[in-house]
Amino acid sequence: MAYTVRPAVQVVEFTRRLAPEPRRAIKHALTALRNEQGDIKALEGNLTGYYRLRVGRHRIILAYAEKRVIEVIFVEERGIVYEIFEAQFVQKLRERLNRS
């Protein structure tokens, strides 16, 4: 049974701004992700529980949710993706803690 893939707004907007070839590659990779195909690797450290999908020079951050859903959370170029995602992740945690 295939997964449902849910891309975040950032993923959709980032992909739209790409040149045609990288855009096609990312769209193809997200389609293949429904069957867990692609270069998927578990992340470590502060990003444990998240996974990355390698698509050319881009990295897609994803997480498995309930009921066979894959949440596609973030995409960026390889050199900066983890730093930016981790910083945003920590900021959101702090905001949630401040609200409590």
Matching residue, tokens 């930016």: 84
pLDDT value of residue 93: 66
Predicted model pTM: 0.83
How distant, in Å, are the alpha carbons of 12, 15, 79 from that of 26? 10, 7, 17
Q: Count structural domains, the chain.
A: 1
Q: State the average pLDDT over residues 17-22.
A: 96
Q: 94: domain range? A: 4-99
Q: Tell me, what CATH number does 72's domain have?
A: 3.30.2310.20
Task: Give all strands (DSSP E) within the chain, no chain letters.
Answer: 4-7, 39-42, 51-55, 58-65, 69-77
What pLDDT does 100 receive? 65
Give the model's pLDDT for residue 20: 97
* pLDDT 10s digits, 35-75: 999 999 999 987 889 999 999 999 999 999 989 999 999 99
